[in-house]
Structure 1
Amino acid sequence: MWAVRRPPAQPNQPNHPNRSSRRTPPTPPFDAPAARRLRAALNMGPEHVAYGMRASYGLPYVTEDLVIAWEREIATPSSGELTALAGVLWCSPSELLGKPRTLREHRLARGLAPEDVARSVGHELPAYLRMEELDDWRGTDRQSAALAGLLGLSLPDFITVTGRDAKLADLLRSAVTTRWQAYVRPVGKMVPLDRRALETALQELHQDYQGQMTATLSWGGDNSDSSAAGREFLNRIVDRFWTTLQAISP
């Protein structure tokens, strides 16, 4: 058996018991298959990657076993480790990232320092870092537009990063279970889209949901079957909304 060796916790590290009250920074979304593919393309073994990270990036604890653990998704590299790994593999950090989900992950994917983002959007650095830590974006419309441009956020990503997914999901659930027409304006205020496209998307979602519920009962399913189908539809309502919009867009 091989063991994954990590550096011992130091008093100034977030995971040291003397500082347990502090949050440990979340690790970036790591694309393990991409790391394996890039390493293989360079004809490098895990031991070569580990040596490069130790020799060139001052990470003495990185071993062959740790690199293997990353590639097998047993462990996840920290932000600093990911940057060093990208250097050894001659790629950008974004090539080793999975799909970004949070504000911090989108920043990492762009290879930007928090100072760069804070300055560009007009926030003080401590305030911006707190937003990343709590995953709670607080900015004016102008600052939000600057953030979207700087990080290259799509509309779905922008809604997620600014913490509006839950509210959008609530509006969409109400739209498909009641009268969708009443929710065109509230959804439109949150999602700046062409009104006609928005109306078409809400109408199609409403029809899909109602049709699925009707079909479940007409196939002889009991109320539990219908409820399960309805819950599954509503749980993924935001994803269905973006997929529907994409399908109807020219």
Structure 2
Amino acid sequence: MSRVRRPPSVRPDQPGPPFDAPAARRLRTALGMVPEQVAYGMRASYGLPYVSPDLVVAWERGVVSPSNTELTALAAVLWCSPGELIGRPQTLREHRTARGLAAEDVALAVGLEFLAYLRMEENDEWRGTDRQSAVLADLLELSLPDFVTVTGRDPRLAELLRNAVTTRWQAYVRPVARLVPLDRRLLEVALKELHRGYQGLMAATLSWGGGDADAGDGGQDFVERIVEHFWTAVRRQTA
């Protein structure tokens, strides 16, 4: 492939969303299209004159990822939503892009000045009020775990959960509830389960005669994935 570089004037200033390369190839194949047809559609209909078949193939192979503008045009050519070409979104910008929404529209809907909202996206630091957060979650159809991640609460949640499993979990029900809007009883059960799992792991590892080093390795792995373990425990209670 010799023409996979974008002209300097059109290279994106910001990274694009997490691109699902196999999905792009699968959708193109299902439509009976070849890369040349995709490239032509993006050039002719969406004002991207530099898009070549080689660039389309590079996207599908995961060699490069499309920018936000390129992703939107590619989705239109493939008759799908941008979300169908995106891996699991993590950031506010990625969730917005997956919904095919413009930043201006999100800012207007949540009641923020456009530049203020754009800074939040760029810094990956949501600073909206509770009301604005609720509107954002509804607009972007965020699950509760995604909402916590997008609003920047994951680090604090992880800290609280680590303390809960290594000390007395009961003391952390209220602090966790301030971050995660869940029923108190559900939180109590989830934290108790996490505490039991961590303490059981530590006790079992020590009983194998591995010593503190082995116990520390097992415990470290557990706490590094503590947020993931927390949401798994919550899902078990709500299933």
TM-score strictly above 0.5 = yes
Is structure 2 residue 136 aligned with structure 1 residue 136? no
Q: Which amino acid letter does the alignment assign opposite residue 216 of structure 2?
A: S
Is structure 2 residue 162 aligned with structure 1 residue 173? yes
CA distance in structure 1 between the partners assigned to 2:15 and 2:174 by the alignment: 36
Q: Tell me the residue number matched to 2:5.
A: 6
Could you tell me the TM-score, scaled by structure 1's length? 0.91
In structure 1, list runs of 5 or more residues that go unmatched. Answer: 16-23
Q: Tell me the residue number matched to 1:27.
A: 16
Q: Tell me the residue number matched to 1:19.
A: none
* 1:147-166 pair list within 5 angstroms: 147-166=136-155
For the Cα contact (< 8 Å) 1:4–1:69, is it kept in 2? no
**Identical amino acids, percent of aligned pairs:** 67
Is structure 2 residue 113 aligned with structure 1 residue 113? no
CA distance in structure 1 between the partners assigned to 2:4 and 2:177 by the alignment: 51
Q: Tell me the residue number matched to 1:58.
A: 47
* 1:205-224 pair list within 5 angstroms: 205-224=194-213
RMSD: 1.4
For the Cα contact (< 8 Å) 1:177–1:206, is it kept in 2? yes
Q: Tell me the residue number matched to 2:232.
A: 243
Q: Tell me the residue number matched to 2:28.
A: 39
CA offsets, 1:118-144, max 9 Å, x none? 111110111111111111111111111
For the Cα contact (< 8 Å) 2:7–2:50, is it kept in 1? no
Q: Tell me the residue number matched to 2:116.
A: 127
* Deviation of 1:26 (Å): 2.2
Deviates more, 1:62-71 or 1:237-246: 62-71
Deviates more, 1:46-55 or 1:111-120: 46-55
CA distance in structure 2 between the partners assigned to 1:170 and 1:124 by the alignment: 32
* Deviation of 1:4 (Å): 4.5
* Deviation of 1:219 (Å): 2.1
For the Cα contact (< 8 Å) 1:6–1:62, is it kept in 2? no
Is structure 2 residue 192 aligned with structure 1 residue 193? no
CA distance in structure 2 between the partners assigned to 1:181 and 1:98 by the alignment: 37
In structure 2, list runs of 5 or more residues that go unmatched. Answer: none
CA distance in structure 1 between the partners assigned to 2:15 and 2:82 by the alignment: 16
CA offsets, 1:149-178, max 9 Å, x none? 111111111111110000000000000001
Could you tell me the TM-score, scaled by structure 2's length? 0.95
Change (3 A) 1:129 1:216: same
CA distance in structure 1 between the partners assigned to 2:22 and 2:210 by the alignment: 41
